[in-house]
Structure 1
């Protein structure tokens, strides 16, 4: 595809206007916005104190005004100050995520709206388990879920069904676990209704059909069941509810459930080779077993749609049920995007043939890239419009995948990654909230009432539906306020990921020039053009043919880029990370292409290393190109890396 010829730069506005907007978003690499942050924190700390004093002003102060002169008070203050100073000193050894010299893992500076909202909320200490413990921030969490749903194209009007639902988690791992949990509940529920012999509801003819209704069909059955149950007398309501609950997989457990339904097998989960390790953890935690996680081969770091089709056909022939197929929108290692459009098309085609399963997208990294594809009214932008200002982004397959997010069943997104928000703020979204009824738990001391009171009121008792119990409301405040200050569309929040994509394109071009500069000492290549804002570089010393030697060379380079707790941070000019390329992810042709580019011979007959260690760069910081001072940290990095390559080459003779 020909490269775009327009000048780099996201829209709307020129570079100066864009920079001024970004300048207000962060504390800054040099702490430039310290006065703004200090004013905000002091203002809202004082506001919190006023709230305390006016809660019941008739109550007298419980701490005496002369307490500060007491010896114990002064001794305690001294100990507290000493420990806090020691902590502050120790934290200076932290990883400098704020610096444009940090291009390692998926972390960067924090957005001021989220940082201040979290600090502001912490003294109130809300617990988002329920409205009893967090009457304000529970609502903010539900609203944040709707904000994210709108960003990916899910239905988001709580007054109309279907409507999406989302909640925050500690991170992507727990969100992926929630996806498995909901998918299993939906898949098994129709089988439980059949086993309970509920009258008056049209049910599938056998367990196989019931187990393969698919998420839409199973959700519709949940709705019909709830309506039927509501029409019963209180006594019948209790009896039928208990009877169905007794047949559910959550009550019986996996062993008893499948023993009672011998026509069925434990379902598989299909995920790409590059899937995050949390999927393995989730399969173990849910009791499905790691063996039921089947890893799909890839082409050029993206799920192989043809291999997926062959696997689905094999499952149909063997009557092997599937729980879920997972696609990745921005892989952790490489930032690549799976063909989500092909995945949902395959799901729909398989459903028509009687094989039902959910599609979940792990967009922990790339979720916020969706802002680039959304207009302020929530509509999808055409690819040609998105592409204005970029060299090659988005490639057609990336735009098609972004458009297809709206057709998936559930999504994981991490606000603490490309949302630039404090840890831990992951998020889980499902396309139709009505399925969440299957996850509801009861606890009389926490949750009260529980007749449906409308969408927002229903989810004020979040702890009923989510894996956690107690959870910090301050995170919800940070996410919600950030999305209000920077709405999730291309004209607002999208300016941030746009800048990171521009940086990735500039980095890619600089990497190609770097490869020419060091040709006498080493061969270098970008293994695959970036889909998002991660760029990898593979290197091999000049004249070397052995993969193990190339890997050792890459590790020695990384030694100069990694955090070393035994050395001052200032000893490092830049911070980067490494990952590995494996034949299973690239495919044989893709792996051979990269080995040829580096002048490496493939491992033969299983002898030697078959994977390739490569440098990995996450380009999140919006100041990698510092227009204020005319500095390109991208150019400085490649100057530094070239010096490292030459030094290693000289050391090796």
Structure 2
């Protein structure tokens, strides 16, 4: 078996060093040669003695019909895969995508290497190698956030969605603990001096301290059965409202449904004209809930909106919680969704993983990339990430790993108690895995681990890549704004950029000069996107973004006016279709490449107009 693994790894290395685009197909071809000729698939010794003429190994070695059938089927599959993967690939990929970068090649190499060693593709905490790799990843990300790796807890999930659901699951279980403590005869003395309203609004740290006391009394498991985990959500377990940015309302709405918390307990936080959560309105909502005696389950902050690419002002959020604790004896949980720009914090750390002072960082950025302008609000939001109770990441969004994974990091490891099933009948077989899905993809973990070995998450490490992505977006946005109109059959078109992105997302619309109808403009941009999908079989770097009243309030109204649309068009249609590019390239781009990217956009626009 050892020789087999070494051979598989050697095959992976050979494929990787060829640096071909069709890496996966090459890898499969190499693996097929190994497996078809190895004892791993066709052992020489069989427990049941069979006639040589019926022996599968003999048939294959003698090139009988079974061998030909296998070869023909395999060749057919490979040919189909190759045609699908290479069919009309878009020209934009070499300029703005990340699929051929050195970082991505390393991620693929890590994935394929682990796939050779883990043929079942998963591990469930029984693989020492994957456990070590996961620990390394979590330690790196906790250090990036500013959490203490000794006190924090985290792990890799199969998707960022599950990472967020897991946070809400733990929070639900945690917030019902004070009421359970009050009901249990051996623990009610811990909360004897508290009223019901105070039990609903206890701080996370106070609840965790009480959970420690329950452990000392050896009654934590018994009390846990009096929480929603044992009794379900009852009328007395009113956990209050979860406040989320309006752009992620539908995402968290599904989570509230799954966990039985109810749609009515979800409040959408409005956004301002810059497409960030309106901090003044958020403050008003929080204070009004406190005045009404309504508990607050938690607030979700965004370090990069998936829709607009804007970073919320997180400092006012942390200050608001501190004010509520000091003035009103009321606290709430804060989770930061850093799926989009979490890795961007590398840009703010020196080689000792200390935060670089604002003035010094601005000077360095001005020297290296004069186009970049770092505002105090963004600096404060990113550098105060450590004040959150938990942070979630999605490696794919940073352009580091092309495989579906999510990461959840929790500041206080004691919260992991609320993610495990308490033992009852067989304590020695209790569920001790503090996570929602239980297994991960071993190759995906290895892919992330490989990337983490390349550079540290500092300004001189992956911060350079963040800088390149940010700068490329700024250059492309400036080029779009300065570009001349282009003509098709007597009609003139131009690009209008929605300038709200704070990092690597670029949102824009193709506008027909003289058009005042929003529906016509939306149909034009949808046609452009669909034309690209049809020709490429998949979206590539260009995606379609739809803004509506449900995910953007009335913030797009001003952009509609900038597109010279009718005065009341937004009030009538209430949705806006945009095209979006997410810059994930790790290579510096010059003016020539930026212009090539613009010419590509122009080309697909003109192509769509022919349809």
Under TM normalisation by the shorter chain, which class is it?
0.7 to 0.9
Q: Which residue of 2 aligns with 1:273?
A: 246
Q: Which residue of 1 aligns with 2:174?
A: 186
- Structure 1 499/394 Cα, relative in aligned 2: closer, same or farther at 3 Å? same
The 5-angstrom pairing of residues 216-365 of structure 1 reads 216-229=205-218, 240-241=219-220, 243-255=222-234, 258=235, 261=236, 265-275=238-248, 277-299=250-272, 300-352=274-326, 353-365=328-340
1:595 and 2:560 are equivalent in the alignment: yes
User: 2:400, 2:451 within 8 Å by CA — same for their partners in 1?
Assistant: no
1:69 and 2:28 are equivalent in the alignment: no
2:354 to 355, 374, 379: 379
Structure 2 unaligned spans of 5+? 1-12, 47-54
Q: Which residue of 2 aligns with 1:23?
A: none
TM-score, structure 2 as length reference: 0.82
- Structure 1 98/121 Cα, relative in aligned 2: closer, same or farther at 3 Å? farther
Q: Which residue of 1 aligns with 2:407?
A: 427
1:477-536 Cα offsets, whole Å, 9 max, x none, are 221232122222221122222211111011111111126678982454322242010011
Q: Secondary structure at the match of 1:381?
A: coil
Q: Which residue of 2 aligns with 1:417?
A: 397
How far apart in 2 are the matches of 1:72 and 1:442?
56
Cα deviation for residue 394 of structure 1 reads 2.7
Q: Secondary structure at the match of 1:136?
A: helix
Q: Secondary structure at the match of 1:612?
A: strand
Cα deviation for residue 199 of structure 1 reads 4.3
1:72-108 Cα offsets, whole Å, 9 max, x none, are 762463255234324423532579599635769x988
Q: Secondary structure at the match of 2:395?
A: coil
1:309-342 Cα offsets, whole Å, 9 max, x none, are 0111111122111211111111112211111222
Q: Secondary structure at the match of 2:581?
A: strand
Higher helix share: 2
1:195 to 178, 183, 190: 183
1:614 and 2:578 are equivalent in the alignment: yes
Cα deviation for residue 395 of structure 1 reads 2.4
1:475 to 444, 455, 463: 444
Q: Secondary structure at the match of 2:301?
A: strand
Cα deviation for residue 245 of structure 1 reads 2.6
Structure 1 unaligned spans of 5+? 1-26, 230-239, 451-460
Q: Which residue of 2 aligns with 1:581?
A: 547
- Structure 1 516/345 Cα, relative in aligned 2: closer, same or farther at 3 Å? farther
Q: Which residue of 1 aligns with 2:4?
A: none
User: 1:581, 1:611 within 8 Å by CA — same for their partners in 2?
Assistant: yes
User: 2:309, 2:500 within 8 Å by CA — same for their partners in 1?
Assistant: no
How far apart in 1 are the matches of 2:533 and 2:426?
44
Point out the more displaced range, 525-534 or 408-417.
525-534
TM-score, structure 1 as length reference: 0.77
Cα deviation for residue 113 of structure 1 reads 2.8
Q: Secondary structure at the match of 1:422?
A: coil
1:441 to 415, 421, 426: 421
Size of the alignment, in residue pairs?
A: 569
Cα deviation for residue 205 of structure 1 reads 1.3
The 5-angstrom pairing of residues 559-570 of structure 1 reads 559-560=530-531, 562-564=532-534, 567=535
User: 1:183, 1:215 within 8 Å by CA — same for their partners in 2?
Assistant: no
Cα deviation for residue 612 of structure 1 reads 2.0
How far apart in 2 are the matches of 1:393 and 1:137?
40
Q: Secondary structure at the match of 2:267?
A: strand
Cα deviation for residue 383 of structure 1 reads 2.9
Q: Which residue of 1 aligns with 2:466?
A: 497
- Structure 1 636/331 Cα, relative in aligned 2: closer, same or farther at 3 Å? same
Q: Which residue of 2 aligns with 1:21?
A: none
Q: Secondary structure at the match of 1:92?
A: helix
- Structure 1 512/394 Cα, relative in aligned 2: closer, same or farther at 3 Å? same
How far apart in 2 are the matches of 1:505 and 1:183?
39
- Structure 1 321/445 Cα, relative in aligned 2: closer, same or farther at 3 Å? closer
- Structure 1 587/242 Cα, relative in aligned 2: closer, same or farther at 3 Å? closer
How far apart in 1 are the matches of 2:568 and 2:588?
38
